[in-house]
Structure 1
Amino acid sequence: MKLEKLYDLYEAGKVSKRLYWELARERLVPLLEVQKIIKKNPYCKSVEIREDGIVLKTQDIELFFDMEQNICRAETILIGTEGEEISLMSRFVPAGATIFDIGANVGRVSLGLAKAHEDSTIYAFEPVEDTFHGLEKNLRLNGEEAHIKAYHMGFYSESGDLKFFVPAANEAASLRPVTDTYYFKEGDQSQGERKERLDEIICPVDTLDHFVAANGIARLDFIKCDTEGAEKMVFAGGARVFSELQPVVYTEMLRKHAARFDYHPNEIIEMFKGWGYNCYTSDGERLLPFEKMDESTQETNFFFLHEEKHRELLKQYGS
C-alpha cells in the first residue's frame, strides 16, 4: 500500500497510530539509500522533496526529477551514470561568448555553462514540446530564464515541420525511431504493469545558417550538439556558420544512432575537414587528435576545433 493511501486511512481513523508508524517507516527507509548515494557521489549535494516536485541539487545547479520518464536527467546524475563534462566544455568558451545548446533536453548543459560563464549569451533549442516544458521549468528553478533563451525548435538540413518519434522516455526522441526498446517503457512509479509507447509528433526545425542570419547573430563561439543521430544533418545546414563564424563544436557521435539516418560518423569528420576543422577526443585534461571512427571506438563525445581560429586553444589544450 502506498504511503499516501496509508495517510488517508489514518486521517479517516481506519488505521491506528502505531500501525501507521510501522507501515510508514517501511516506505520511508529507502530515503536512507538515497542519502548514501549522495555521500558517495561528490557532484550531488542534496535531494529536496517539495510540494511542486523533487529537486536534485548539484554543485552548481538544480534539476527537477521527472519520474514519469523511464529514466530522467536528474536521476542519471544522482546515480552516477551521466558523465559530467561541463568543466571541460567551459575551457573552450571565451569571455562574452555566444553559445548554442542544440538538443538542450531539460537544460543540464545550458544551466551548467550559464553558471560558469555569467557574461555569456546562451540559446537553448529543444524540439519536443514536453521536454521543452521541462527545460523551461528548470530555467525558472535556477533563475536563468533571462540569461538562457529557450526555443521550442530543432535544427536540420532544411526548415519546416518534421515528424519526430517520441518514446515513453521522451529524452530519447529522434527524427528516426529508436531501436532500443528500453526507452519505450513508461515510468514505473510502482503503478503496476509497465506499458510501452512510441508517439509521432510534429516539431519545428530550421537550418543553422537561416536561424543565425534571421536573428542577426554575428558571433557564435561554442556549439554543443546532441540530436540522437541527426548531427550530420544539423551540421549540413550550417555551412556558412562553420566557414565564417567558426565556433568550437562539442558533439555526440554514435555509430548506432547514425545508422538509423543511413550515414557513418566519419562523414561528419570529413565534412568538418572541408571547413578547416580537426576532430578531437579528450582524456579530461587534454585534447587528443581523432582521425577515424571504427568498430573499436569507445568514445561517444567529440570536439571540433578550427585549425586557424582555435590555434591558441590547441596550443594550450592539445596533446
Structure 2
Amino acid sequence: MIGLEAAFPYIDTHTAGHPTRAVLGGIPPLHGRSVREKREDFERRFDHLRSALLHEPRGHAAMVGLIPVPSEVADFGAIFISSYVYLGMCGHGTIGLAKTLAFTGAISQESGDRFTLETPAGVVDVRVEWHEDGRLGAVSLKNVPAYRRFEGLEVDVEGVGAVRTDILYSGMWYAMVDADQLGVALTPDTASANLALGWKIKQAIADVTDGLPEMLGLPAPSVLFYSNLGQGHSRQFLVLAPNKYDRSPCGTGTCARLAQLLLRGELSDTDTYRAENIFGVPFTAELAEKSEVAGTTGYSVIVRGEAHLISQGTLYLEKGDPLSKGFLSR
C-alpha cells in the first residue's frame, strides 16, 4: 500500500482482563538459536518496534506483546515484550498465546491437549482443555521453578515507614506485600492510589536489590499486593509501573505467591491456591514438583486460567507519521 513503511498482523486477547497482543507478522528474522538469544537480538536491533506496536496510539501503558519465534527444543517459542521492559516469562501471555493458537488452528482437539513453549526463562509445559464444540476452555501451564531470595526484607518507604516483603523469582522477580497490614483495599476504585503506593515500595526495593547478580538482566521486583480472603484464597494486585498494573491476578506472580505460602507452611503441598484480581476473576495454582534451584528449594507450580478473544487486524506504520514510534504519558 502506498505510504506505508510496515504492516503487522495481530490478534488481541485478554486473560482475566490483561491484554496479550500476538504479533503474527512483519517482524524481521531474528538471530540466535535459543528464544532468549532471539529476544536479545530483538532488543538490540528492533526495540523501536516494541514501542511502536505497544505504546499509544496503537496500544497503551498496560499492553503486553508476544512475538512467536521458532524453537529448537519446544513445539513453539515466544518472546514477551511490554510497554516498559522485556519479560523472562509471562503466565497470562502464555494463556493468551494458547487462545491465539486455537483461533488460528495451530492447535486443535485433533492435535491433543498439550504443547511445550520455549520462553526466555525456560521451557514450560502447557495443557489445554477443549469444549465439546471444539472451543478452547481453560489453559494450565507448568511454570519454571519459583524460589525465595529474601525473607522478611525490610525497606523504608517515604511517607509509609518500614515495609516488610518476601522476594521470590518465578520467571520474573516479585516482592510480596501484605495489603491488609498496610490497610490497603484492593478494589477497582483504589487502583490509582495503590499504583502510587506500590511504585514507592518498588523503588525502595530496587535501591536495595540493585546490582545483585541473580537480578541482572531482569527488571526490579514488581510489588504484588495480596489480601487474604480465606484459607488458600487471596486477592492480588501487581504494580508494574506508576501507570501500569496487571489486570489479571498475574500468572507468574501467582506461582511465586503459592511458593511463599508453601515456604511459610500456610498451605500444604496438596492444597490448591485461588488468586483473584480486583474484578473477582480467578487463577488457580497447585504444586507440581519440588527441585533444587539456585542452592535452595524450587517450586514448579501449575497455574490455570482462561483467555478470551478481543480483535484481529493489522497495525500500520505510515511514512511521515510524527508519532510512528509510539508514545507513553506517565
Could you state the TM-score of these two structures normalised by the residue count of structure 2? Answer: 0.24
Choose between structure 1 and 2 for higher RCO, CA contacts under 8 A separated by at least 6 residues: 2
Bigger helix share = 1
Could you state the TM-score of these two structures normalised by the residue count of structure 1? Answer: 0.25
